[in-house]
Amino acid sequence: MTPAASAPPRVVVGITGASGAVYGVRLLERLRELRVHTHLVVTSAGVLNVHHELGLDRGALEQLADEVHALADVGACIASGSHPTAAMVVAPCSMKTLASIAHGFGDNLLTRAADVTLKERRRLVLMVRETPFNLAHLRNMTAVTEMGAIVFPPLPAFYHRPQSISELVDDTVERVIELTGVGLGQPRRWTGL
């Protein structure tokens, strides 16, 4: 059974403990503005990092999503391919989570939902955060790319001459929304010199 034509698209958002919590939070805010139904799964390190980097507690973070799932709840709807979603974004994606996805562990709801996204041939965007990369990181990125995921390190574009960090974040988030395939992203377009 597919959702009604008038139903909003559904996107799963995962937030891990890598630096860059602002990307996950801004993604949730933007998807809400675009009337995209969101499912949120956050690791314990993700909650810690959202608090450290942005000063938000778990409750404030969870209010940004339409549905919130506990990390250990592998019986949640998003753990099954029969639950229709358009895409999943892990923003930010730690190297631990990347490795779990690359090796098909599915040991918590976030990695299980990513596995479901891949097996159902839906869009999976991983905003990996680490620098520099070691060989294990690179091999894991290659593995998930070969499985169909999109590896999207949140590297800022400077050719639009951004005036603030929020401008850089917004441009990156709009590009990620476009990659989900829900047809609502509004990144700034390069028109040439």
Q: How far is CA 69 from CA 46, 130, 151, 180, in A?
A: 14, 26, 24, 20
* β partners of residue 189: none
Count the Cβ atoms, other than its own, within 10 Å of residue 159.
8
Residue 59, H or E segment:
helix 58-62
109 in Cβ contact with 76 (< 8 Å) = yes
Mark the binding-site residues for FMN, compressed into ranges: 17-19, 43, 94-97, 129
Amino acid at 113: A
Q: How far apart are CA 164 and CA 67, in angstroms?
A: 31
Cα(112)–Cα(74) distance, integer angstroms: 7
Binding-site residues for dimethylallyl phosphate sit at 159, 175
DSSP code of 189?
P
∠ Cα 46 173 131 (to 5°): 55
